[in-house]
Amino acid sequence: MTIKAIRGFRDVLPEEARTWARVEAIAARVLRTHGYQEIRLPVLEKTELFARSIGESTDIVEKEMFTFPDRHGELLTLRPEATAGMVRAVLENNLVEGGRPLKLFFLGPMFRYERPQKGRQRQFHQLDVEAFNDPSPQMDAEIIVLLAHFLNEVGLDRLTVHVNSLGCAECRPAFRRALESFLRGVRGDLCPDCQRRLETNPVRVIDCKVPRCGELVQDAPWTVDFLCPDCRRHFDGLLQALRQAGVTPALDRRLVRGLDYYTRTIFEVLHGELGSQNAVAGGGRYDDLARSLGGPDIPATGFALGLERLVMLLGRQGHPAPEGPRLYVAALDEAAVEKCFGLVQELRRRGFTVETDYMAGSLKSRLKRADKLGALRVLIVGPDEIARGEAVLRDMATKEQVVLPWAGAIENLAELLDKGDGS
Ligand code: HAM
């Protein structure tokens, strides 16, 4: 029996990987223009980090983490998201000493033990973008505008940006009390999970996926009606900044997000074609997280984008074709294979994309292969060419052929071929 991949863990095959590479290159460029630096973080962290940041009574921590003890019994978890690890790294490495703003991004695999379905895997990848030490609504707006700009650059449209404000430690208790009293009134109709959530984390009831719970919370109180004056000003500032940047968000009063660390701004970018797993990206502000992990006050805001979902949407328009080699070397017998080996390696060393095969084959089969690869030119070397001290260079588009003397062939080819990268 052959061994298969683990459920919810998938291979990204070469065709799809070309879209990944394109998306990653655009992300790196857009993030650079907005002043974000890359950081790379470990895949494993102490379980406690996620429990304390994402929240003990969230779905992620309660039932979706890949957690296991190491050889000494310490509980470790494969990161289910990047924000907690990012804050841990910022604190541990003193990256915001002196209260300077710091803008970081990170791309890598995350792990959640969810039921796999379209757009939902157990290993998935996030582009995670975080801005530290800037409490302004403009920084929240920058993060959202950056995300919209990136999605536009990769060629994704029909997106909506949903925003909401959760308020802060000042105004949230009043909202929570109102929500609790509303939920107690409908308690008997809530699903068993939500009856439990009502005691542990009532806000989670608002985004319960059970349809009946969804209907019941239609009449629940809204966070925006409980905002203190500072949070109200912050939210208005965000909406104004977004308008200035040409982003029209949908105010989504039901949006609460599935992680506990948020304060004030939260948002999601949704795409209609994704079905129930319709968020391409989500994020928000988390001004209290650094302190709750034992650090100083570090206001922060950010988002994470699910790369599988993005690539799935882009893949509907087709993945980019591979770029063909500039030259295919057709060695027609074993002696030609031996003779051409050095030439191929030297041209590659000089930066040309060159392909060949080390198994001799007929001219017809080699030309077919060159055509399939999309090679622009073919260098033909067989017993006749070797005897004459020559090689034949064929242009695949015009089918024109020229004879090159073998001596000096590398220099001749280096002049004739184009590297294809603009150099
Ligand atoms: P999140 O909403 O849990 O936020 O995840 C962000 C994105 O990751 C989702 O919108 C989705 O595209 C993708 N995603 C999540 N779970 C899966 C899955 N099982 N399979 C495929 N894609 C998935 C966070 O993780 C926060 N850390 C975002 C953030 C950053 N907030 C502030 N800074």
* pLDDT tens per residue, range 308-355: 999 999 999 899 998 899 999 999 999 999 999 999 999 999 999 999
Task: Tell me: pLDDT of 383 over 50.
Answer: yes
- Cα of 81 vs centre of ligand 1, distance in Å, is 7
- Model confidence at 261, pLDDT cuts 50, 70, 90, reads very high
Could you count the other beta carbons within 10 Å of the beta carbon of residue 374?
A: 14
Q: How confident is the model at residue 422 (pLDDT cuts 50, 70, 90)?
A: very low
Q: Which tokens is 73 given?
A: 């019994």
CB of 151 shorter than 6 A to ligand 1: no
- Give the confidence band of 420 by pLDDT, cuts at 50, 70, 90: low
Residue 160 pairs in a beta bridge with 270
267, 283 contact by CB (below 8 A): yes
Residue 221: what pLDDT?
94
Segment 399-423 shows an average pLDDT of 86
Fill in the amino acid letter for 274.
L
- Output the average pLDDT for the chain: 94
Q: Is there an atom of ligand 1 within 6 Å of 81 CB?
A: yes
Whose tokens are 């060419």? That residue is: 385
- Whether ligand 1 lies within 6 angstroms of the CB of 308 is answered as yes
Q: Is the pLDDT of residue 421 over 60?
A: no
Whether 114 is in the pocket of ligand 1, judged by its Cβ within 6 Å, is yes
- Residue 239 alpha carbon to ligand 1 centre in Å: 23
Enter the pTM of the model. Answer: 0.93
Check residue 47 and give its pLDDT.
98
Decide whether any atom of ligand 1 lies within 6 Å of the 120 Cβ. yes
Residue 415, classified by CB atoms within 10 Å of its CB into exposed (0-12), middle (13-18) or buried (19+), is exposed
Specify the higher pLDDT residue, 278 or 375.
375
**What's the CA gap between 111 and 77, in Å, rounded?**
9
Q: Hey, which of 64, 81, 274 would you mutate to test ligand 1's pocket, going by the most ligand atoms within 8 Å of its Cβ?
A: 81
Q: Which atom, in ligand 1's list, is nearest to the CA of 309?
A: 12
| Rounded CA separation 232/237 (Å) | 8
